[in-house]
Amino acid sequence: MSPYDPSAYPPFAVTVDLVVLTVRRHALCALVVRRGEQPFQGRWALPGGFVRGDEDLAAAAARELSEETGLCAHDPAVPDGGNGAHLEQLATYGDPKRDPRMRVVSVAHLVLAPDLPAPRAGGDANSARWAPVDELLAADEAQTAAGLAFDHARILADGVERARSKIEYSSLATAFCPPEFTVGELRRVYEAVWGVALDPRNFHRKVTGTPGFLVPAGGTTTRQGGRPAQLFRAGGATLLNPPMLRPEV
């Protein structure tokens, strides 16, 4: 083994970038912030920032989520999941030219949350908004000025695909729902994430027939209009058997 040569390993920074997804007005939306500083000043980007020397990656992701958006991350130590957003590590991005300032490696995280109000901006962001993911990805594909900064369009696309595939075999779709929800509201989550229309009767039969997926909450609601609909809570299952396979488009 050759001796260690510090000059061969120049310093680099580590950041966390957040793909924050929610369903608003029946559309899958991502949280984006307008950059208040260079590089890419004025461009929309995913929320995120540099990892401090005394924190681990999950803590950095939770801090950035709170600082830039006012949202809180899910705390796995809290029974029944707590009241925060679902947070999981997505992937690592390390192209040497992804950030014009210096060599920066980003560890991206995926955040899923129910329908949320307009977020507040903070940190180095001067505004924040929810935007349909189709709109954001189309702008990048067309290479317009509305495209996301850095390589954030790639990170967003990876996060969306993670969410789309994961709700097939896990109960993660309930992370987009309030604590108590109807089967119809859950179906609209699947439709928004997958971008397809699902048969209401077949969907109802599948989700209520999958062991551990849904648990009756003991009440009804008329918030969707029409007749009262039964309320459910997420069950204890983390994996769905059989899975909810995505329809072919």
Distances (CA, A) of 81 to 77, 93, 170, 179, 205: 8, 29, 16, 10, 26
Query: 218: Cβ–Cβ under 8 A, 6 or more apart, which residues?
Result: 231
- The tokens describing 78, both together, are 């809290």
Is 121's pLDDT higher than 70?
A: no
Candidate ranges 80-84, 163-167, 235-239; pick with highest mean pLDDT: 163-167
* Same-domain status, 147 and 28: yes
- 3-state secondary structure at position 112: strand
* Same-domain status, 111 and 160: yes
CA separation for the pair 157, 161 (Å, rounded): 6
- 11: domain CATH number? 3.90.79.10
Query: How confident is residue 119, by pLDDT bands cut at 50, 70 and 90?
Result: low
Among residues 131, 150, 167, the one where a domain terminates is 167
Burial label for 145, CB within 10 Å (0-12, 13-18, 19+), is exposed
Range of the structural domain that residue 107 is part of = 6-167
* Same-domain status, 228 and 127: no
Look-up of token digits 């109960």: 171
> pLDDT of 182-215, one tens digit each?
999 999 999 999 999 999 999 999 999 999 999 9
- The tokens describing 135, both together, are 């709109």
CA separation for the pair 228, 222 (Å, rounded): 5
Sign of the CA dihedral running 84, 90, 94, 100: negative
Whether 131 is in a domain gets the answer yes
Is 223's pLDDT higher than 80?
A: yes
Q: Are 47 and 31 spatial neighbours (Cβ–Cβ below 8 Å)?
A: yes
Among residues 167, 184, 202, the one where a domain terminates is 167
Whether 121 is in a domain gets the answer yes
* Same-domain status, 148 and 218: no
User: For the chain, how far is it from start to end, CA to CA, in angstroms?
Assistant: 53
Query: 223: Cβ–Cβ under 8 A, 6 or more apart, which residues?
Result: none
Tell me the mean pLDDT in the region 114-129: 67
Q: How many domains does the chain have?
A: 2
Whether 239 is in a domain gets the answer no
- 212: domain CATH number? 1.10.10.10
Is 63's pLDDT higher than 60?
A: yes
